[in-house]
Amino acid sequence: MGCGTCDFGRKGSSSLGGSRDRKLDRILTNRLTGIPIMLALLCGAFWITIAGANYPSDLIADFLFWIQDHLTALFMWAGAPDWLHGILVLGVYRVLAWVVAVMLPPMAIFFPIFTLLEDFGYLPRVAFNLDHHFKKAKACGKQALTMCMGFGCNCAGVTGCRIIDSPRERLIAILTNNFVPCNGRFPTLIAIIAMFFVGVAGGLVESLLSAVILAGVIMLGVFLTFRVSHFLSVTILKGEPSFFALELPPYRTPQIGKVIVRSIFDRTLLVLGRAVAVAAPAGLVIWIFANVPVGDGTLLSYSASLLDPFARLLGMDGVILLAFILGFPANEVVFPIIIMTYMATGAILELESLAELRTLLVANGWTWVTAVSTMLFCLCHWPCSTACLTIKKEAGNWKWVGLSIVIPTGIGIVICLLFTTVVRLLGF
């Protein structure tokens, strides 16, 4: 292994057996088969998450909006002013409801899958397979594990960087973790893929194809992680990769009950709690933007028009760029803000189907170019506010938070500019 020695010793009575472990390692850590199997498992995890999250997400949304209806009735019974109902119910509560409905089901599916792979003993093999690539980037192979944790939540990925002993390599892992799309960005990516590249039927083939395209987008994020890690290693965080001894644990039969409990309480609820804490004030700000009049429109439409010329250069429009900005507290609300602005409603909402949403987007000028540009910017833009606070806690200095914002956002702007320039030169 590139950055240390590996101990294949087998320990514990719950392991699957030394001979079987060696046979599995010949396949899962083989130079020819290790990475393809890793990609297949990644696609499988995304497919299970995509296919399994829709129905419970709808159920949770229906329940939470049923509560909203009763809150509205309560405010009307109490004779509360419209502005108070708007701020507390249509603003704060509705944003909280969307964040919970969108985040909870995918996390409740993805985190247990991730924890099962961890309990089985596969995640150290991921670090083994990617160690050579991280060493070429002058980074640490353990960064592969923190990158995997970022799929569920970048906050968890940043916190997981504690496993990296070298302060230099730990900072590299922290600053590049945002190139892995988190659970909050998955709904936007999946919706765009379904509407513009796969189809909105939602069948088995469509969900599988969505998972494959999503995996392709994520591989672009992994590629950028390698490139940016190397750039940081030869500039502001110069140094050579450290050597570490990675002991590959024996494969074990996962204890499913403990895995589910641990993933729910240690990861899902923890991350959800952080997101809810920042989503509440975000709901207040979004409602103010959507309801404060400016000229013939609102502060929301006025701000979008100011951003429009620059956003057009990136292949988007002012509404999309403003939605990303207002989505800083929680990425889950980006698409609802886009819909709200296009429909000139005063509160966040979501259409009943992807087909209906696609019709709305196309009517407001969306093309496949807009879709690709939005996906690229979704992949490469600033971390959410919760991730920024976590970076401050782990890195200990606000300058690293600033760099964690500037680096992905700058790369996202450059990539979108290059993409739209090439498309326009080719006449599309």
Q: What pLDDT band is residue 398 in, cutting at 50, 70 and 90?
A: very high
Mean of all residue pLDDT scores within the chain: 83
**Which residue from 376, 332, 387 is spatially nearest to 53, judged by alpha carbons?**
332
Q: Which domain holds residue 413?
A: 6-425
Residue scoring higher pLDDT (73 or 137): 73
**Which residue from 9, 44, 5 is spatially nearest to 25, judged by alpha carbons?**
9
**Which tens digit of pLDDT belongs to each residue from 117-162?**
888 888 888 878 888 888 888 888 888 888 888 877 788 889 889 8
**Which tens digit of pLDDT belongs to each residue from 218-257?**
899 999 999 999 999 999 988 777 666 667 778 888 788 8
Answer yes or no: is 355 within a domain: yes
pTM metric for this prediction: 0.83
pLDDT at 340 over 90: no
User: Which helix (H) or strand (E) covers residue 300, if one does?
Assistant: helix 299-313
pLDDT at 406 over 90: yes
Answer yes or no: is 105 within a domain: yes
Residue ranges in 161-266 assigned as alpha helix (H) = 167-176, 186-193, 204-233, 256-263
**Which residue from 372, 336, 373, 332 is spatially nearest to 357, judged by alpha carbons?**
336
Answer yes or no: is 297 within a domain: yes
**Which tens digit of pLDDT belongs to each residue from 152-201?**
778 888 988 988 888 999 999 999 999 988 877 887 888 888 888 876 55
In the predicted model, what is the mean pLDDT of residues 199-209? 65
**CA 124-127-133 angle, 5° bins:** 165
The number of folded domains in the chain is 1
Q: By three-state DSSP, how is residue 296 classified?
A: coil
293 has which bridge partners?
298
Answer yes or no: is 1 within a domain: no
